[in-house]
């Protein structure tokens, strides 16, 4: 049974392919098109998945799409009519795109080459919930999905059950939903825009900026967003425009309420800078901190409701808001959750996987065979392909056939202060670089964070970096229970750091916290070996890990892209498969 999952037409289009219930390949379209957050039909990602599985379109039994286009069009048109005449912009867009929204089945049928009746639609929030529950090791669990909006739902709590021995019926049900326009994800995005960042791209920047501020605007936010004990949310839509505008998500009266003008797009915020510029940046940081605190409280309340409704202490989370690692940790701390699972792709790209998993398990009653233990589902390039790319670029390299030699050389370079690109195996499915397409560095130097932000990544100075640590060392490096939880594999928990560790690794210390990645020998032996070798040299079982890309670009996927990024940045070295490339 071959099932192709697709997400497309909003942001982060992707494809995922299941063969007999096992994930074989998955990738975002942006990795092939090189357009960050590419929303177009994922033709290249689909071709990659089919090629990796060794099948063609004739072998595909079903295509699963991650939402119901008809319901989404209904919501758009209903909102336009309810808000008329202020919705001229959305109305003209609907007229331009409405036909495509309602012809998704035919578009997929023609593009993939499959009969139209083999194209199945799965509710958006069911796709998200399935991407988490059916990728988890749990036989039963509560589910929580929080994002901007699907068809109508913006948050949902539910429950899933599916045994590994095949006994009983697989099920996944959404028990309660919160509907548009009241949305935690859209609230966060509106403030993301207010703070000068790009929607669906800069939300994680808001989370990083929040650590520099204090939540003194929390009361002001409570005037526009009311949170109830059951996790439901009410927004005062007088302060927002996302329901009636295609250009902006907030109303000017939000600035009046906050007493601060919106930050212009792409202004460099430096909260540590002296003078008026730094003072204004700190006020924006305070707004970010207030929004983040509200978000944490809301996600905790929603998670607590999911536990209450389902009677489960295991929770599977998905949706774009599940990328908020600070809120995720608060769920473990405050919501009565004992075990938490979040896939490497909780956002819309993961909907492709979720739709396919839902069709396999629920619609077809297929057996459980898959747990997402790692994120390495993208394309790989063998040593010969790397050699050809290096030769074409006119670069000198050392070639080593022994993987142990590569890990030792990498550890030596890092321990001597080098910052390097690390390109190994299949690229990751999801927004995080987890040791296959990474930039690595020694976290022991306090100046390393600023060096990489300014001279390597060319990005905002307040942005933090993740500590990638040996799995068995993590409990000693983290100052709270939870380092063994599944989301730490995928860099989806921001946790307090032990004081001794934070002092020894200041480049990954973000005000006493870190976005933890735990690395095991079973799931990524080569990356694990690098960190072990680094520990042998320095005594620290952790390296700095960030995505192998420059500001505004997708993470590199091919050797050519890795070389281009190396040449355009301040990286000291590049390790690709068995090749070591250094600066002249």
Report d(CA 177, CA 128) in Å as an integer: 13
Report d(CA 238, CA 536) in Å as an integer: 59
Would you say 160 and 137 are in contact if contact means Cβ atoms under 8 Å apart? Answer: no
Would you say 206 and 327 are in contact if contact means Cβ atoms under 8 Å apart? Answer: no
Query: Is position 11 annotated as part of the catalytic site?
Result: yes
Report d(CA 213, CA 282) in Å as an integer: 6
E strands in 8-135: 14-19, 22-28, 62-65, 119-121
Report d(CA 49, CA 7) in Å as an integer: 14
What is the CB-side half-sphere exposure of residue 188 using CA atoms within 13 A?
Answer: 31
Nearest to 252 by CA among 243, 261, 244: 261
Would you say 424 and 527 are in contact if contact means Cβ atoms under 8 Å apart? Answer: yes
How far is CA 364 from its chain centroid? 29
- Token pair, residue 368, equals 């459980």
Nearest to 491 by CA among 515, 507, 457, 467: 515
E strands in 50-139: 62-65, 119-121
Report d(CA 316, CA 174) in Å as an integer: 13
How far is CA 369 from its chain centroid? 24
With b for 16 or more beta-carbon neighbours within 10 A and e for fewer, the 218-227 pattern comes to beebeebbeb
Helix (H) or strand (E) holding 306: helix 275-310
Catalytic-role residue among 11, 124, 243, 579: 11
Nearest to 104 by CA among 96, 92, 116: 116
Nearest to 497 by CA among 508, 484, 486: 508
Q: What are the residue numbers of the active site?
A: 11
């Amino acid at each position: 049974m071959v099932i192709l999952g697709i997400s497309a037409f909003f942001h982060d289009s992707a494809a995922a392919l299941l063969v007999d219930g096992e994930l074989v390949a998955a990738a975002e379209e942006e990795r092939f098109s090189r357009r960050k957050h590419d929303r177009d039909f994922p033709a290249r990602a689909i071709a990659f998945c089919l090629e990796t599985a060794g099948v063609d379109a004739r072998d595909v039994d079903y295509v699963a799409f991650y939402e119901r286009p008809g319901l989404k069009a209904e919501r758009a048109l209903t909102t336009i009519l309810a808000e008329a005449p202020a919705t001229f912009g959305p109305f003209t867009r609907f007229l331009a795109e409405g036909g495509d929204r309602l012809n998704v089945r035919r578009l997929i049928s023609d593009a993939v080459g499959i009969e139209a009746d083999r194209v199945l639609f799965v509710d958006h929030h069911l796709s998200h919930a399935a991407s988490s529950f059916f990728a988890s090791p749990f036989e039963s669990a509560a589910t929580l999905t929080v994002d901007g909006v699907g068809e109508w739902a913006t948050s949902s709590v539910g429950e899933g059950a599916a045994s590994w021995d095949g006994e009983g019926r697989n099920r996944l049900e959404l028990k309660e939903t919160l509907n548009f326009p009241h949305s935690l994800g859209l609230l966060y995005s509106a403030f993301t825009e207010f703070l000068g960042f790009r929607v669906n791209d800069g939300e994680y920047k808001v989370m990083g900026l929040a650590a520099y501020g204090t939540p003194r605007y929390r009361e002001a936010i409570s005037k526009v967003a009311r949170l109830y004990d059951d996790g439901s949310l009410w927004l005062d839509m007088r302060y927002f425009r996302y329901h009636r505008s295609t250009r902006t998500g907030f109303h000017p009266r939000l600035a009046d309420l906050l007493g601060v003008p919106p930050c212009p797009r792409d202004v460099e915020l430096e909260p540590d800078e002296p003078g008026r510029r730094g003072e204004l940046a700190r006020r924006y940081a305070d707004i970010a901190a207030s929004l983040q605190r509200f978000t944490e409280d809301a996600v905790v309340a929603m998670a607590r409701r999911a536990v209450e409704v389902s009677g489960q202490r295991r929770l599977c989370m998905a949706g774009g808001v599940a990328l908020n690692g600070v809120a995720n940790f608060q769920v473990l701390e405050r919501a009565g959750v004992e075990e938490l699972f979040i896939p490497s792709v909780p956002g819309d790209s993961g909907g492709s996987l979720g739709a396919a998993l839902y069709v396999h398990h629920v619609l077809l009653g297929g057996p459980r065979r898959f747990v997402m233990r790692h994120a390495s589902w993208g394309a790989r390039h063998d040593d010969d392909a790397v050699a050809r790319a290096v030769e074409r670029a006119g670069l000198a390299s050392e070639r080593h056939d022994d993987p142990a030699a590569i890990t030792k050389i990498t550890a030596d370079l890092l321990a001597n202060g080098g910052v390097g690109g690390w390109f190994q195996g299949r690229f990751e499915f999801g927004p995080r670089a987890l040791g296959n397409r990474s930039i690595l560095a020694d976290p022991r130097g306090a100046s390393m964070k600023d060096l990489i932000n300014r001279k390597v990544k060319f990005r905002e100075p307040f942005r933090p970096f993740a500590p990638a640590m040996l799995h068995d060392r993590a409990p000693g490096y983290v100052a709270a229970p939870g380092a063994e939880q599944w989301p730490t594999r995928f860099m989806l928990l921001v946790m307090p750091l032990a004081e001794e560790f934070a002092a020894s690794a200041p480049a990954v210390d973000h005000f006493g916290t870190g976005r933890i990645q735990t690395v095991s020998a079973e799931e990524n032996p080569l990356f694990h070996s690098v960190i072990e070798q680094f520990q042998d040299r320095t005594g620290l079982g952790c390296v700095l890990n960030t995505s192998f890309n420059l500001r505004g670009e997708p993470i590199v996927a091919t050797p050519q892209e890795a070389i281009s990024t190396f040449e355009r940045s301040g990286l000291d070295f590049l390790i690709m498969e068995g090749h070591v490339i250094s600066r002249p």
